[in-house]
Structures are given as C-alpha cells and as structure tokens.
Structure 1
Amino acid sequence: LEAVVMLMWSVTEITGSVGVCTKNELVTKTRVHSVYRTYSQSYTAQGSNCGYYYRYWETCTRYRTDGSYVNEEESYTEQEIKEFCCPGYKSCSSEDGCLCQPVCHLDCLNANCSAPDHCECWGGYSKQEGTENICEPVCSQNCVHGYCSHPETCTCDQRYKLDPSQPFNCLPVCSSPCINANCTSPDVCTCFPGYEKISGDPHKCHPVCSKPCQNAACIKPEVCSCFVGYQKDSAVENICNPVCSEGCINGECTEPGVCSCLEGYKLQNNNYTCEPVCSNCSNAYCSAPEICSCFPGYEKDNEEDSICFPICSPECINSNCTAPDSCECFDGFELSDDPGVCKPYCSEGCNDGVCTAPEECSCLWGFGSKRNNSDCSRVKTDNHDCSFVNTLVPLGFDKSCINFSAEFKFGNLRRCNILKELLMELKRKGKNILVMTLECDNVSLLTNPFSLELFCNATINDEEHTTGLQKPLALTTEEFFTKTTDQSLATYESTTYNNSMLSSTDWIAPSTSEPVETPAIFSHSKMKSQISVASIKKFLNDHEDLTSDNPLQLNVTVHFLPLIKEREITVDYFGNTNYTVMQELCLCQTNKTWNLCTGTQYQFTICPCRPQSLQFLNEESSMAASIMKTLAVVVVCGILLALAIWYNRNRLGYFIN
C-alpha cells in the first residue's frame, strides 16, 4: 500500500516516548483485487471435427472461448497517525528502537545526551571538573607508567606494556627479549643473579660458572652441560670428556668418535683400534711398538728380533723350512717318505746304487767302488782274515756300526718233532737233555753283498751245559709231543733219512712276522754229520751218547742284499775315500746260542774291518790325547809366566828412569 495524498493533520504529544510528537493525516492508498476476463481463441481441426462433409485428411479453422482471473488495482482513502520529533530532539535510527533523541549542542564525551543540552556520564565515568559535557573514566587504583583510559582499565605509556598479573601496572618494553634478565626500563635489561652480560648484546645475559666449562656449556650459574658426544668427568664437575662408543684401544678419545693413538701406534680402518707400529716384522705380528711376536709355528731369529723363522719338526734335511712343518727341497732334491727329509734326485736312476747327491750315484757295497756312476756292477774283495775288536766306531770312520737282528726258528714242524722225539728218547734213557742249541762263528769277512756262509754247531745240551739257558716251550710237558710224534715216527720208520731231507731252506728261516716280500736272510745249507741210518730208532741206538762234545755241524747262510738295499750301505758308507778297492766289512754275531725249535732273536753287527793292532792304537791314542792335554797346559802356563815377568821388568825400568 502506498500513501498518495495527505488530506489533513493534527498534532498530539504521545506520552511515554521521549521527544516524540504525533499528528493525524488522510492518505489515498491503492489495493489489488482479482477479476475474471473471457476471450476467443482459434485452432485447427481435421476430418469430422470440421463437419459432416469433410474427409478425414481435410482441415479447417475453428474458434473457442476461454477465460482467466487477472489482478486489477483500485484506489481508496484512510486516516493515519504520524509521529515526529519534538523541539530539542532529532530523529535517530530505529534499528535499536530509537525514534527521537535529545540534541546537545556540546558533544558529550564518555556520556549520553539524555535531554536537550544535558550530558549523563556512562557507568564508570564521572564529570570532568569544570565541564558539563566531558566524563572521565574512573580506576580504583592509580595506573603506574600509564593512565586510566577506561573504567578500571589502564593504558600504558609509550614503550611500556600492561602487566598481565597486575592490571594497574605497566612494565617497560625492550625491543629484543631479555634473556636471563629482566627488562627494568625501556630497552634496558638487568641480568638475573648469577648471570652477566656479554659485550655486543645488551639484551642477553649468560650464566656464570666460576670454573670454566671444558667441552661443555654453562647453562646455569655453576652448572656445566656437556656438548653432544661428551660426558661428565667422574671426578671434576666442570670437565666433560669426549665419548667414543667403541672405546679406544691403545689410544685416547680426543673428540667424539675420534681416537688419537698413543706414541708408537697408528689408527686402523675401524677408527677406534690403534695397532702398534713396527718397522718390519717378518712372519710375526707387531704386539707392541717395535716389538714383533712370532706367529704360531715360528721362532725368533737369534740376531734380528723382527724376523721369525718357521719351525719344522722334525728338522728339515736337504731342504729349507719355508713354513711351519713344511720343508721345501733344495735344487736337485726331492721329498722322501720320511717327513722333513729330502733325498737327492738322479734323473737316470742308480742301478745297484744310491743317489747320494744330485745327479751323483754311490754304488751299494759289493757293486762297485765308484761314485757319480749310474751303473754299478758286482765286485769282490780279497779273501783274507778279518779281525774285529769291538762294536764301537772304528778309528778314522764317521759312522757307527750297523746292528741288525732277525727272529727265526726251525721251520719244518715234522723234522722239529723228530728232533724233539730224539730228545725225549734220550731223556727216557736217563739223559738230562733239555735243549738243542746252535753256535756259529763270531766274526766273518763279507766277501759279496749276497750271502755269507757261517759254520755252526748244533748241540744237544744237558743240565751241566745249559745253566742260564731258557727251557724250550715244547719240552715243558711230555704229553704235548706224545700225541703228535707217534704217527710221525711211524711215517718216517720206512723212510731213508738222507742229507737232502735235512737241507731244506726252512730248517732255519725268518719268522712269519717279517714282510712276505722281504727275502729270507737266513737259510740252512746242509748238515755235515754222518747220519745215514734208515730209521729214527737206529739213529737213536747209534747216537745214544750224543753230547755237547760231539755236535752236529751246520752251515748257515746269511743273506745281506736286502739289508744293504734297505740301509743303503754304499761303498763310502763308513767314510771310505779310496774308491779303487771295495771297503772290507766284517760280520760279528752278538749272541752265541740259538734254540732251534723255539723262535729266537739272533743279533749281528757289521763294521769296517781293521787289524787287531788297532785296538792297541785306540788305547795309545787315548794316552796320547792325555799327554797332549798336559803339554798344552804346561805351554799356556809358561807363556803367562813369561808375560808376567816382562810386564814387571818394564814397570821397574819406568820407575828407575
């Protein structure tokens, strides 16, 4: 609705609204109402809709009447009451419900214009002395370094700020924060107790530690805090020591994670181990500065402490010990079956000889008298008497005599049973027969490297002749052979007992404990007795008085070739330097008695032959040696006495002068 014409008005004051007056007015207004209107509208029809005579495809225009409601305005008049401000008032915004407000010609400060030209102070304000329009804020306390800008509110002076804990107090403002200090005046910092300023920064105070902090920062008065990578010294509070997580071996931790080696040590790749420094350690490790310790299997050189030589056990022969228990042969040598021993090497081999030096052969004894010869042939010595005195090293030779032994026994059990039956029969006839023994030559000359025939006596001994001899095991009981010999005797009664039956090589043979491939050293040749009877019984009847006075004579052959090859006895084995004649060797048996049917050891010794007179020469040599020692002592004493006399005479002449 809109007012169009004001027809009349009258003024009437409306009580209850300050400064608002009213008046009546006639106004013309318009309003809108709905009216139904009709109208005609054309449209196109087809076929029968057009009429009876129209075909279905023919069209025509037809009209129809429609209607609708439309809004139309109409005018009318009515009386209204209008409000306006009374004199001394003015219109104000109606947003807060205000219609008219009083007018004060002087602006009210911190106050409201409550009536024309009348100011009423706000709450917390009071009239300024001597004025009607100015009101000042009221603060219950004085504002320090500020003024009361609002009721109970202080506004600080320039370069001051309000104290958060005290609303009526203003604090000075410093352009930079005071560190470890108080801002006591604008841009003036005063240090806390125990702190002091550092030149160049007036706003920062540092804590004071009376003892300087080492590797640390003084974070509070008299309090040191270690830098990263350092830790407090256990004894001194103001000192921090660097930390090396792995520790420093043979060094000192001078910085975090950094080791400085002691004198004589150097740092390794791991940065925390210092190893001793040695100028040169050979086959050794440096255990301390300039001190070498040998590796296992090495030992120190007697002259140079930094050099260690490998230890070989057994000692290297013809070779160098290049590593612990490892020998490297000299040129011309090769390893033998013995650990640490290198034997000389001859490319063409040594037939019936021994390679005694690189490409140098020494013939075996009995196969030549030359050296540096790859083909040795058998030679003979002159057959003459051999005189051997004892088994000590002969005078003038550099090797000991060769001792060897072999165990052998009567090898044919049947023949051994016959002999034992012989002993049993003699015992039944009252003879105290205990053992059959064999004695051979004491000393024999070796004439060839193959065999030596010894002349031996087989003897049946009684108790008088066997004192100290061991009883044969077979004769401990008579029953042992009673069961075995009856059949043997029956077998041999019809057999002619000739020499060939007693000449078998198994009469005396090595025991079965020796290697099969080793040739027999001993063999029986033949029996030189006059046994030609037809049976054992006749033999017993014919020789019932057989004693040690009439022994059976045997020839025993000793084979030496296996021994010569095994021991490598060359022509120069005993230091012979004359290669034109083969050195003469003697065989000496050590024990004299054999038990034929029980195994026994027979011992021999081979030494260079020498005349009987050499025994006395040895004794004379010993005496001559004693005389030479005595003469040497006398000569030395004489020289010392002459020097003493000469010295004293010179001193006497000096004093006379």
Structure 2
Amino acid sequence: MSPPLRALFLLALGLGLSGTLNPKDPNTCSFWESFTTTTKESHSRPFSLLPSEPCDRPWESPHTCPRPTVVYRTVYRQVVKTEHRMRLQCCRGFYESSGACVPLCARECVHGRCVAPNQCQCVQDWRGDDCSSACALGVWGPQCDKPCNCGNSSSCDPKSGACSCPSGLRPPHCFRPCSPGRYGPACQFSCQCHGAPCDPQTGACLCPPERTGPSCEVSCSQDSVGFSCPSTPPCQNGGVFQASRGSCSCPPGWMGTICSLPCPEGFYGPNCSQECRCHNGGLCDRFTGQCHCAPGYTGDRCREECPVGRFGQDCAETCDCATGARCFPANGACLCEHGFTGDRCAERLCPDGLYGLSCQMPCTCDPEHSLK
C-alpha cells in the first residue's frame, strides 16, 4: 500500500467512518452530523437604464424629456448552507472491530472475555471484576491472605473484601437476617403477604392457621378439629406450579422458586430469561422488554438520536434554534455552527464579509454588475 493510501486508511480508521458498519447490527446506533454545502442562488435586481439622448432644455418642456427605463437583471450570489445527514457509530459501551460493534471493558479481562460493556466472564478458578484474582472463596487481598469478614459462609470480593450477601441476609456483613417484612437479595423487597410475615430468603408467605394461599388471601374453614384449609399452590404473581420440577413457572417479569423475585436489571420476560437490549441509557421494561428511552433518543432499542429539530423525552419537543443550527437532543440547547453564538445561535461572531472559526476567511461572492 502506498504511503498516501496508507495515511488515508489510517485516517478513516481513526475517525471510525460509518461506511463499514452494518445498520442491522443490534449494537450500532445512529446520530446526526452537520455539514456545509456551497451553492449559487439567483435573484432579480432592478437597474435604471439611462436615456441615450440627454434632455437639453428640461425647463422648457419637461414632459418631452425621455425618462430612465427600469430593467431587471438576474444576478447570482454564493450561499453556504448547513445541512444534516445520518451517520452510524457503535453504541455507547461498544467499539468497532472488523465491521462489527463488540462490547468494551474499560479494564482488561485478564483471565476471561468481555461479554457486555464492562462485564467480564471469567474462566474457571479466576474471580474479580477483571478476572485477575485467583483467591479462593473466603479469602481476599493481593496475596489472598485476608479472611472475608462475612457471616453465614458468604463470599466476598477478592480485591475489596466487600461481602456478597445471599438472599435473606442483611448487608454489609451478612450476619443478620432481613428485618420483618423484607426479603430477597440485600433484603430489598417487601413481603407480599396479607398481614403475615414471609420467608426472608424466598418471600414465601408464612400464613396463620386460619388463612392460606400464596399471599395468605384464602380463608380456611373451621370445624371441631381446627381449621381446614384448601390445597393451594405456592406460586406468587400468577406463576404456575410445575409438580415435576417442584417449582413454579413464572410469568413475565418474575423469577424464583415461587415467582417472588422481580427480574434483575437487564433481564425481562418469563422467568426473566430474556436479556434486554436497550442502548444510550434506555431502561428495559421487565415484563415486556420494551425500552424506555432516555431523553434525546428514540427507536425500539433507543439506538436512534432524535431527528433534527426535535429533542427531549420521546423526541416530543421542538427545537427553538436559528435557521441552520440544531439542538442538543437531550435538553434542546442549541449547538451553534462556527461563526454564531447566543442562546438561539442567532448572533454572528464575525463581522460582515468574514467567516470561519477565527473569522479569518473572507466571504467570496460573484461581483454584481449594473447597467450604465
């Protein structure tokens, strides 16, 4: 490859030109780019055509003097216009490699691979955010010589020693169970029982003798022997009990043995088995998987920047910028082109006849000719 071609190739690679990206790649996002074009515009101008013979004695007979004739002539001027075009780039958290957008981990996955933005999948016997620690469970530190100060056989982070409490135990050290009325990982969920406590691990309701059902919502009949309760499956939130498995098949948005755990962030659907694919800060609905886009973005996966002239949540707001300027898609702030300033980009920075970043470029216009 010749030096000029090599330099051009390296420049294109450094700029990340979108021509090599596949728009069907789920990790490819679009954005709007401004560019300028120079065109010639025509318009008509009036000119006065003086009479060929002068009027020698206008004071004697002014009405006989020939009058100037007004004619129109087409003139041209050079106009610089700002236009916009859609370009492609890898979504936030991804980078281009061989024409595809692959996840980016800010820290190298030493003994593993990057499977999602800043998320490593470690090979066996390696731990930590970057898969660089060979510490066994129960110890941490650079030399793996510090015991985890975590109760109930809980593990800890091999670098920081922070405890990872299993469901039902309260952070930071996992010594105490969840307080009454709470359950789940880090005790973050509230029991869904009608006036009854729940199991701190699973959220299963611990019903009193006179009530039964997944949420203690079914009343039991009473006879001389005591309360007689109907047989009810333990599944919460509409789950269907699978006797062969001894657990529940959960509806969209729920997981766990009795469907008491909401889907963690990034997952949705039945048993939380589907992975969300929302970009640019969009949040995934844990029931349907639909993306709720952050302000400034749209599309089924929030891959598209708001069209030019629109901004805000669901791109529902209209920009209020001077002609030729576009606005920041998140909040509507005007993005001024070189040579303009102000809240609406309506104020010129350069004096008449000059333009450019430092106002050093003279405007070039075709000369206008008049009739004599």
Q: Which has the larger radius of gyration?
A: 1
TM-score, scaled to structure 1:
0.15
Between structures 1 and 2, the one with greater helix share: 1
Higher relative contact order (CA 8 A, sep 6+): 2
